[in-house]
Amino acid sequence: MRRNHPLIIAVSYLTVVFLYLPLAGVAVFSVNEARRGTVWEGFTLKWYAKLFQNEWIMEAAWNTLLLAVISTIVATILGTILAIAIDRFPWKRRTSNYLDIILHIPVVIPDIILAASLVVAFGLLRVVSSIFEPGLLNMIIGHITFQIAFVALVVRSRLVAIGREVEEAARDLFASNWYLLRKVMFPLLMPGIFAGAMLAFTLSLDDFVISFFTAGPDSQTLPLFIYAAVRRGVTPQIHALSTLIMLVTVVLVVTTERITRR
Amino acid sequence: MKRTESLITWYGELTTRRHLLKRGGLFLVPGLLWLMLFLVLPSLVLVVVSFVTRGAYGELEWVFTIENYKRLAGFTLFGWTADYLLILWRSIVVAMVTTLISVVLSYPLCFFIAARSERNRYMWLTLVMIPFWTNMVIRAYAWFFILSPEMPFAKLAALLGCIPDGAPLYPNAFAVYLGMISMFIPFVTLPLYAGVERLDWSLVEAAQDLYASRIRVFTQAILPQTMPGLSVGIIFTFFPAMGMFVVPDLLGGAKYMLVGNLIQQQFGTSRDWPFGAAVSMGLMVLTMIGLQIYRRKGKEIQVV
- B6 belongs to a structural domain: no
**What 3-state DSSP class applies to A43?**
strand
Q: pLDDT digit string (tens) for A116-160?
A: 999 999 999 888 888 888 899 999 999 999 999 999 999 999 998
Residues B62, B48, single domain; the answer is yes
Indicate which CATH number applies to the domain containing B86: 1.10.3720.10
Residues B198, B51, single domain; the answer is no
Residues B33, B162, single domain; the answer is no
Strands B13-16 and B7-10: antiparallel
Contact A246, B134 (CB under 8 A): yes
Residues B45, B146, single domain; the answer is no
Give the chain A residue whose CA is nearest to the CA of B136: A206
Q: pLDDT digit string (tens) for B249-294?
A: 999 887 788 999 999 999 988 889 999 999 999 999 999 988 888 7
- B154 belongs to a structural domain: yes
Contact of B87 with chain A, judged by CB distance below 8 Å, is answered with no
Of B75, B100, B118, the one marking the end of a domain is B75
B94, B95, B98, B99: CA torsion to nearest 10: -150
Residues B70, B142, single domain; the answer is no
Phi-psi region of B58 (alpha: psi -120 to 50; beta: other; left: phi over 0): left
Residues B109, B241, single domain; the answer is yes
Quote the ipTM score: 0.90
- B188 belongs to a structural domain: yes
Chain B residues touching A168 at Cβ < 8 A: 11-12
CA distances from A82 to A151, A192, B167 (A): 9, 14, 53
Contact A41, A33 (CB under 8 A): yes
Of B33, B48, B75, the one marking the end of a domain is B75
CA atoms within 13 A on the CB side of A230: 25
Number of residues assigned to chain B? 304
Residues B110, B244, single domain; the answer is yes
Residues B289, B146, single domain; the answer is yes
Number of domains in chain B: 2
CA atoms within 13 A on the CB side of A78: 24
Q: pLDDT digit string (tens) for B52-84?
A: 999 888 888 888 999 999 999 888 778 888 889
Contact of A29 with chain B, judged by CB distance below 8 Å, is answered with yes
Contact B146 A118 (CB under 8 A): no
Contact B28 A82 (CB under 8 A): yes
Residues B33, B141, single domain; the answer is no
Q: What are the boundaries of each domain within chain A?
A: 55-261
Give the chain B residue whose CA is nearest to the CA of A76: B31
CATH topology (fold) of A55-261: MetI-like fold (1.10.3720)
Of B75, B96, B115, the one marking the end of a domain is B75
- B304 belongs to a structural domain: no
Residues B69, B109, single domain; the answer is no
Identify the pLDDT of residue A133.
Answer: 86
Prediction pTM value: 0.89
- B7 belongs to a structural domain: no
- B14 belongs to a structural domain: no
Q: Which domain holds residue B54?
A: 24-75
Residues B70, B93, single domain; the answer is no
